[in-house]
A and B are shown apart, each in its own frame.
Chain A
Amino acid sequence: MFNFFKNSEKESLDKILAKSADFKCLEYYNNKSNISFTLKFLATLVDEKTIQDSVLPYLLEGNFKQIEDVKQIVPLPDIKLSEDISQIEDMIFNGSVLLTVNGKDNKFCFLGAKKEIGRNISLPEVEFSVIGPKESFVESLDQNLNLIRKRIPVKELVIEKKTVGTLSKTKVAILYIDGITNTENVNTVRQRIEGIEFDEITDSSYIVQIISDNQNSPFPQLLDTERPDRISAILAEGKVAIFVDGSPHALIGPTTLVEFFSSFEDYYLNWILSSFFRLIRLFAVVFSILVTPVYVATLSYHYELIPQDLMSTLVASRRAIPFPPILEALFLELTIELLREAGARLPTKVGQTIGIVGGIVIGTASVEAGLTSNILLIFIALAALASFTTPVYRIGNTIRLLRFPFLLFAEVWGLLGIIVCFCFLLTHLIRLTSLGRPYLEPLYPPRMQDLKDAFIRLSFDKQRKRPFLLNTKEPYRFPKKAKKEKKDIEDE
């Protein structure tokens, strides 16, 4: 590994650690067995109560003659004897207490007394659903893995651990179900995670960006979720999940574009309802991207397309406005974006106020001042509303961005420009892959059988086959139902 600290080899570990105020090196003496020993640990990482209650009394009063005795006398589950000096640094930074018997420095013992500071499992905030479980991941990796283990209690669920980041030493877990998930996908993930070269990995978002197939794409190529139910469902489908310590969002791959528009609540509703809601959501996305560009294109180039009855409303609302449609639209779009940014950056309570002030006051004022037409204001507000219906927050941001190139193309070439821009977008999407699998599947390449859970979701008895995209080892989710045979009259 790339050695970050040039002088760390020159100085001994103790000396470097001694610079920090939280490093403690305490010497003790056991009267019974006449032995003196030292405890070294970082007070910020170690639960001192454990040392006080479960370590020191036994070491001081117990029958402690040599280092090997520790396992018998100290009632801690995580005790490790070692002679390997290179481990010391790692273990101390993982919250272990280093125990050495004075005079015998080559043998030592690690006592696990990690301090756990973290929040409790709370309601999912980003992907809230009315129906279904209400737990969401937290920052602690172990706690998150516990949630998954509970949902898939089989031995085939494999949890591989890796450490990435030269400074952060972030623990990353790769989850898959052995015997279902295609090993190729697991290998890709493993290889890419091992190949990460970055100093500080603070969140799973870093990993998404670093290991995506195309880093210059505005589209997220791994799905992220905070719902344990979603993770367990996709594991059963044959996908790979990636957990990162310190991040409440787990990653899912390989994924497709359509998956970003499926809310996990879709699986909790009847298939007819959920299919309908999915279609509405997709419509909302298209509407949100296209409505302002089409407005600009029609008003600047294709007045013939406007129905006679709408003409009077449109023209009357635009009559007094001094700007061409494009400036009007950009002005309003930017206002909405500013509002969104302001709302997202400010504390919740102030954020709400900003929303009201911005939405009502600026909107009404700009219409009354004759800067924008109220029809466009309605369109933009609807488009903003529609972009909020995306169940995955990440893709919502992409949609926000996509509107602007479409707007510019609409201004330059009218409806033709919108088509041109759409062609660019389509080319990009067709080329895009997620962990080497096509991103636009099942549209392109067309896979009829994967349409059962894409734009609509068919009932569970139609979901026997795992997605074709994943090429799973075990293609069926449940055995085929025996066909009901009519009893022959003679049998009765």
Chain B
Amino acid sequence: MRRTLKLIASVFLASILNGCVQKEVLDDITLIEGIGFDYIDSKNILGTIVIPVYLPKQAPKNITFSAKAEIKKSMLQDIQRQTADPLVTGSLAVVLFSKTLTEKVGILPLVDPFQRDPGVGSGLYLAVVDGETKELLGGNYGIRGNATYISNLMNHNIKNEDLPQTNLQWFLADFYQEGKTPFIPQIKQIGKDKLKITGISLLKYGKMVDFIEAEDMFFFKLLVDKYSEGLHRVKIESGEAAVRSIRSSHNFELTKRNPMEITIHIKVDGIINEFTGQELTPKNIQELKQQFSKDIQKESLKLVQRFIGKQIDPIGIGHYVKTQTRNFDFNNWRENQYKDIVVKIKPDVKISESGVIE
């Protein structure tokens, strides 16, 4: 009897704790799916959020709210005054920054709140917008809402094309990793209902310092990411071929110390998607292979030289050298060693398939 009483009492006492958990019933909250930040002046920004309004058997309607503010949280408070239900960040999918803002102010103070919010997933995509984010978020893309459209766009380009792996987690990891420069993709609105990934922005201390064009993204991905999948056109005398990389890996090797010399081995497994020439003979394939290797070497080296010239390091050479060196001094590295480093690229290309019908 006493035991039963104790049980009942404990259940009742436990139910008092009910108030300790905050209830967020799905239909009584406003889900923010995307946030955009635009530049107003050196102290103020314009924040825009996009929320989907789900309608039965229809594509969700995108509604945007904007507010001028100093930092992100106060911007949300301002928007809070415009919405019927409390705003929650739990299903946030993308955060966009306008190009002007990234160049002039930097995105660090704006990203900070997201890494502290437990509701925000680390798979959140960050991106720079060529133009105004307010305008971009105001468009109507796809059938699943704007933010989902943007995040799907990035997701599939990372998986199947030449956009390197990127999200909040990767951004922060790169940012906190000394000897590595973070990068995020750049998108642009090219019509009322169309978007495009235009390239990759490189951010030094949160500010955009360089931009990689879409044509170079294939080589950039070879340098920074594993399992690069992308398409590259190779020209030889007898025609032009489209080679799709199906698997790739890159390895660093510290070949010399004084002066520093780094060799980057790039392994690519490719298949030939199309060929414009007459016939694809084994000889042609051999030529294609060599040409592809040459292209990789030339273009990658060009990229690396450009990074060294701009004193940025998205490939993480500094980080790699640090792992190989005792008592590594980053100041010395940044000021002296990185400038004079010699980088060699050694591509290893394999063409594993050239079509079913020979």
A residues with CB within 8 A of B: 298-301, 303-304, 306, 308-309, 311-312, 314-319, 321, 324-325, 412-414, 416, 420
Contact = CB atoms under 8 A, between A and B. Distances in A.
A428 to B, nearest CB: 11
A308 B145 CA distance: 10
B322 interface: no
B27 A319 contact: yes
A150 to B, nearest CB: 48
Contacts of A306: 26, 91
B121 interface: yes
Contacts of B18: 412-413
B283 interface: no
16 contacts: A300-B25, A301-B21, A301-B22, A301-B24, A303-B90, A304-B90, A304-B121, A308-B91, A309-B148, A312-B52, A312-B60, A316-B55, A316-B57, A317-B56, A319-B56, A325-B25
Given A303-B29, A316-B57, A321-B27, A412 B91 contact: no
A321 B17 CA distance: 27
B85 to A, nearest CB: 12
Interface string B13-45: 011011001111111010101000000000000
A299 B15 CA distance: 19
Interface in B60-99: 60, 88, 90-91, 93
A318 B26 contact: yes
B26 A299 contact: yes
Contacts of B15: 412
B145 A312 contact: yes
A303 B56 contact: no
A240 B29 CA distance: 59
A413 B31 CA distance: 22
Q: Is the interface of A mostly helix, strand, loop or mixed?
A: helix
Contacts of B113: none
Contacts of A312: 52, 54, 60, 144-145
Contact of A318 (B23, B27, B60): B27
B309 interface: no
A300 B24 contact: yes
Nearest to A320: B56
Nearest to B33: A308
Given A300-B25, A301-B24, A315-B54, 5 more contacts: A301-B21, A303-B88, A304-B121, A311-B52, A316-B54
Q: Count chain A CB atoms within 10 A of each CB in B22, B25, B31, B144 and give the residue with the most.
A: B25
Contacts of A311: 31, 52, 54, 91
B109 interface: no
B119 interface: yes
Contacts of A315: 26-27, 54
B14 to A, nearest CB: 8
Interface in B132-167: 144-145, 148, 151
The 9 closest A-B pairs by CB, nearest first: A304-B90, A315-B54, A316-B56, A316-B54, A299-B26, A312-B54, A318-B27, A412-B18, A303-B26
Interface of B: 14-15, 17-18, 21-27, 29, 31, 33, 52, 54-57, 60, 88, 90-91, 93, 119, 121, 144-145, 148, 151
A308 B148 contact: yes
A316 B15 CA distance: 31
A420 B22 CA distance: 18
Nearest to B18: A412
A309 B149 CA distance: 11
A242 B29 CA distance: 58
Q: Name, among A311, A312, A319, A414, the residue most crowded by chain B CB atoms within 10 Å (CB to CB).
A: A312
A247 B29 CA distance: 57
A55 to B, nearest CB: 59
B264 to A, nearest CB: 37
Contacts of A412: 15, 17-18
B189 to A, nearest CB: 21
A341 B103 CA distance: 69
Nearest to A315: B54
Contacts of B26: 298-300, 303, 306, 314-315, 318, 325
A308 B57 CA distance: 16
A52 B145 CA distance: 92
B144 A308 contact: yes
A304 B56 contact: no
A311 B29 CA distance: 13
Contacts of B31: 303, 311
A316 B145 CA distance: 14
A467 to B, nearest CB: 32
A319 B85 CA distance: 13
A248 to B, nearest CB: 35
A99 to B, nearest CB: 56
**Which one of B17, B21, B26 has the highest number of Cβ atoms from chain A below 10 Å of its Cβ?**
B26
A413 B91 contact: no
B91 A303 contact: yes
A235 to B, nearest CB: 37
Contacts of A316: 54-57
A413 B17 contact: yes
A420 B21 CA distance: 14
A325 B23 CA distance: 12
B25 to A, nearest CB: 5
A306 B54 CA distance: 14
Nearest to A417: B21
B56 to A, nearest CB: 4
Contacts of A416: 21
A104 to B, nearest CB: 61
Contacts of A321: 27
Nearest to A325: B25
Given A311-B31, A311-B54, A317-B56, A301 B91 contact: no
A319 B26 CA distance: 9
A312 B17 CA distance: 32
Contacts of B55: 316
A423 to B, nearest CB: 12
B50 to A, nearest CB: 13
A469 B14 CA distance: 37
A299 B25 contact: yes
A156 to B, nearest CB: 44
A489 to B, nearest CB: 49
A414 B333 CA distance: 52
Contacts of B56: 316-317, 319
Contacts of A420: 14
A324 B27 CA distance: 9
Given A308-B144, A312-B60, A300 B52 contact: no
Contacts of B14: 420
Contacts of B121: 304
B10 to A, nearest CB: 10
A228 to B, nearest CB: 41
A306 B60 CA distance: 16
A321 B56 CA distance: 13
Nearest to A324: B25
A240 B219 CA distance: 75
B92 to A, nearest CB: 10
A412 B23 CA distance: 9
A412 B33 CA distance: 28
